[in-house]
A and B are shown apart, each in its own frame.
Chain A
């Protein structure tokens, strides 16, 4: 495997709120290589968005503070990069699309203006060249009649078309990494698959690495190379996508998988849900954050935070029990 493009090392993000400090991210470690599609999965509130937005410095400070950790982009720490240089990276090298395409575009400017604006910020081209490039990008993501639609305002686009426009914009400056934060969550089910396909197809065509954030393991299965599972502000398991589905190691991953509706499940059968609820991040537990909900937890899990361990090539896990001689999760998954 080539040297990683992005390496998030032991990231900590806290929020100073009126109710005290919320320790949203507590040692997240993650890396992405060039051209790779990485899925970041976890329940809502686990810290996926905060992690992603930290990469681009989009988390407002205050309330956020960064007590520890590094976000290395090709070796330089983005957390200490001055704003001027960070601006060149934003959109130019790393771009991002968001959950709600209905509100992510500025209602008072045309789609074309918003794409061209980004192109002109990052490269010295004429307005005309930027327009041609924008139209080319809109065409790439499957917006019909891109030349006419260039002058449309966001309210004249449907939700799916707006997300396509967002993708076109995000890819317009030939970035090396695209961060997609739940890009299909706000869309109709029928359109979700199309949008995912566009992201995957365009990214592979342009050789852009993708960090695809989702709370839905099903989304990950289709298009990702690797998956990282996040729980309470930490990555608890990382694996190539097939390995993860065939053989989840961490009990939390296993629980997540059992909660996916199956094609062959008996009608009326209740879907599995992980018991309990995630910890309150203003008072994070001392040991493994999942221990209180875990069927396999032992005393040590509640007191000691497990380290990240490499289990096999490309597989890491944060769990005391994985690798114990007689330890096995039920294998009846998928």
Chain B
């Protein structure tokens, strides 16, 4: 695995270059774009010029852009992303609080997605042509087009409101579980994440499941599957040991793309479920030109994308020995 290690280091190095380029670009943009964050911060009230000047000096905005740029880097190397213009919190705190919720939503969403995609994909391939398989296909196609703000509200209504308001028998089924689970009451705890995470998960889970299904059906026609049966292996062993790993190869790419897309989905879902995540921070900071927060967010998003891509590339090489991690195919 020596090559994998050097490859990882190389890719992380590339990631740093991308972060540097993005930060530089954004500094330039903030310099060009008219309007200044301090007067935006003060809102409707017009503050006395001395106070405005004091604030400008406090944030170092009286300095030339190049000095601000240098200062940003020197702070960043000490792990300090600066202070938000808009509220008196440090960007570190804002990101930390936001990520605590968004990160968990993302994690559980991605995990649910993986579980749903694997189970649905595998069973629909094994029981292909069955009623369940056909229903699964209809469901997958249907769910793909539904935006999160529709599916999220629908889910809240179906699980959290309807059973109780209609006094249906099966409302009792939900009774022992706190209402927070269904996202009706916003909460910071993990319980409030169950339904939103499911909403995040199903968007692409259906698509990935269908990919896996067709990939598996393709693999099952392969000669080496016939060989595996001829060896006397059980159907289970053939499916899980010989077919699944080969079938995952094309699915991994889709899963990687979907993980990055999930970031956007999670942001929308937070809004629908009133979760205190990064969602509102992203929108607010961009509108109010709160550049320290925007920069901090950009670094987080870029790093996330780069790390997901790296994991995808590494898992390719782990799944398929014909693929060399540095992009050159073996043989």
Interface residues of A, Cβ cutoff 8 Å to B: 56, 58, 83, 87-92, 95-96, 98, 100, 103-110, 117-118, 121-122, 153, 155-156, 166, 169
**Which of B227, B228, B232 has a CB less than 8 Å from the CB of A88?**
B232
B319 near A108: Cβ-Cβ < 8 Å: yes
> What are 15 of the A-B contact pairs (CB < 8 Å)?
A91-B230, A95-B230, A95-B231, A103-B222, A107-B246, A107-B322, A108-B320, A108-B321, A109-B242, A110-B321, A118-B232, A121-B232, A122-B232, A155-B322, A156-B331
B245 near A58: Cβ-Cβ < 8 Å: no
How far is it, in angstroms, between the C-alpha of A83 and the C-alpha of B246 when the chains are bound? Answer: 25
B232 near A105: Cβ-Cβ < 8 Å: no
Known A-B contacts A91-B232, A103-B222, A121-B233; A153 and B227 likewise in contact (beta carbons under 8 Å)? no
A108 near B245: Cβ-Cβ < 8 Å: yes
B228 near A106: Cβ-Cβ < 8 Å: yes
How far is it, in angstroms, between the C-alpha of A121 and the C-alpha of B232 when the chains are bound? Answer: 7
A98 near B232: Cβ-Cβ < 8 Å: no
User: Which residues on A sit within 8 Å (CB–CB) of B235?
Assistant: 83
Closest to A157 in B: B331
A107 near B231: Cβ-Cβ < 8 Å: no
Q: Closest Cβ of chain B: how far from A137's Cβ, in Å?
A: 14
How far is it, in angstroms, between the C-alpha of A166 and the C-alpha of B226 when the chains are bound? Answer: 13
Q: Cβ of B190 < 8 Å from any Cβ of A?
A: no
- The 3 A-B pairs with the shortest beta carbon distances in the complex, nearest first, are A91-B232, A90-B232, A103-B223
A155 near B230: Cβ-Cβ < 8 Å: no
**Which of B227, B233, B245, B320 has a CB less than 8 Å from the CB of A105?**
B227
B224 near A106: Cβ-Cβ < 8 Å: yes
Interface residues of B, Cβ cutoff 8 Å to A: 222-224, 226-235, 242, 245-246, 319-322, 330-331
Known A-B contacts A98-B226, A103-B223, A108-B245; A87 and B232 likewise in contact (beta carbons under 8 Å)? yes
Q: Closest Cβ of chain B: how far from A8's Cβ, in Å?
A: 18
Closest to A105 in B: B224
B227 near A90: Cβ-Cβ < 8 Å: no
How far is it, in angstroms, between the C-alpha of A169 and the C-alpha of B233 when the chains are bound? Answer: 13
Closest to A172 in B: B231
Closest to B230 in A: A96
**Which of B224, B229, B232 has a CB less than 8 Å from the CB of A89?**
B232
A58 near B229: Cβ-Cβ < 8 Å: yes
Interface centre among A104, A121, A122 (most CB of B within 10 A): A104
Q: Closest Cβ of chain A: how far from B98's Cβ, in Å?
A: 40
User: Which residues on A sit within 8 Å (CB–CB) of B322?
Assistant: 107, 153, 155
Q: Closest Cβ of chain B: how far from A40's Cβ, in Å?
A: 17
How far is it, in angstroms, between the C-alpha of A96 and the C-alpha of B232 when the chains are bound? Answer: 11
User: Which residues on B sit within 8 Å (CB–CB) of A89?
Assistant: 232
How far is it, in angstroms, between the C-alpha of A83 and the C-alpha of B229 when the chains are bound? Answer: 11
User: Which residues on A sit within 8 Å (CB–CB) of B227?
Assistant: 98, 104-106, 166
Closest to A99 in B: B223
Known A-B contacts A87-B233, A92-B232; A107 and B224 likewise in contact (beta carbons under 8 Å)? yes
A155 near B226: Cβ-Cβ < 8 Å: no
Closest to B321 in A: A153
Known A-B contacts A153-B322, A155-B331; A58 and B230 likewise in contact (beta carbons under 8 Å)? yes
Closest to B234 in A: A87
Known contacts A104-B223, A110-B321, A153-B322; 13 further A-B pairs (Cβ under 8 A)? A58-B229, A87-B233, A90-B230, A90-B231, A95-B231, A96-B230, A105-B224, A105-B227, A106-B227, A106-B246, A108-B245, A117-B231, A118-B231
How far is it, in angstroms, between the C-alpha of A96 and the C-alpha of B226 when the chains are bound? Answer: 10
User: Which residues on B sit within 8 Å (CB–CB) of A92?
Assistant: 232
User: Which residues on B sit within 8 Å (CB–CB) of A107?
Assistant: 224, 246, 320-322
User: Which residues on A sit within 8 Å (CB–CB) of B231?
Assistant: 90-91, 95, 117-118, 121, 169
How far is it, in angstroms, between the C-alpha of A92 and the C-alpha of B233 when the chains are bound? Answer: 11
Q: Closest Cβ of chain B: how far from A189's Cβ, in Å?
A: 22
Q: Closest Cβ of chain A: how far from B107's Cβ, in Å?
A: 28
Q: Closest Cβ of chain A: how far from B49's Cβ, in Å?
A: 70
How far is it, in angstroms, between the C-alpha of A239 and the C-alpha of B224 when the chains are bound? Answer: 34
Q: Closest Cβ of chain B: how far from A275's Cβ, in Å?
A: 35
Closest to B224 in A: A106
User: Which residues on B sit within 8 Å (CB–CB) of A88?
Assistant: 232
Known A-B contacts A108-B245, A108-B246; A56 and B228 likewise in contact (beta carbons under 8 Å)? no
Closest to B329 in A: A155
Q: Closest Cβ of chain A: how far from B215's Cβ, in Å?
A: 13
How far is it, in angstroms, between the C-alpha of A169 and the C-alpha of B232 when the chains are bound? Answer: 12
How far is it, in angstroms, between the C-alpha of A160 and the C-alpha of B40 when the chains are bound? Answer: 75
A90 near B223: Cβ-Cβ < 8 Å: no
Closest to A87 in B: B232
How far is it, in angstroms, between the C-alpha of A96 and the C-alpha of B231 when the chains are bound? Answer: 8
Q: Closest Cβ of chain A: how far from B45's Cβ, in Å?
A: 66
B229 near A98: Cβ-Cβ < 8 Å: no
How far is it, in angstroms, between the C-alpha of A107 and the C-alpha of B232 when the chains are bound? Answer: 19
Q: Closest Cβ of chain A: how far from B226's Cβ, in Å?
A: 6
Closest to A84 in B: B234
Q: Closest Cβ of chain A: how far from B223's Cβ, in Å?
A: 4
User: Which residues on A sit within 8 Å (CB–CB) of B224?
Assistant: 103-107
User: Which residues on A sit within 8 Å (CB–CB) of B246?
Assistant: 106-108
A56 near B230: Cβ-Cβ < 8 Å: yes
Closest to A83 in B: B235
How far is it, in angstroms, between the C-alpha of A106 and the C-alpha of B229 when the chains are bound? Answer: 12
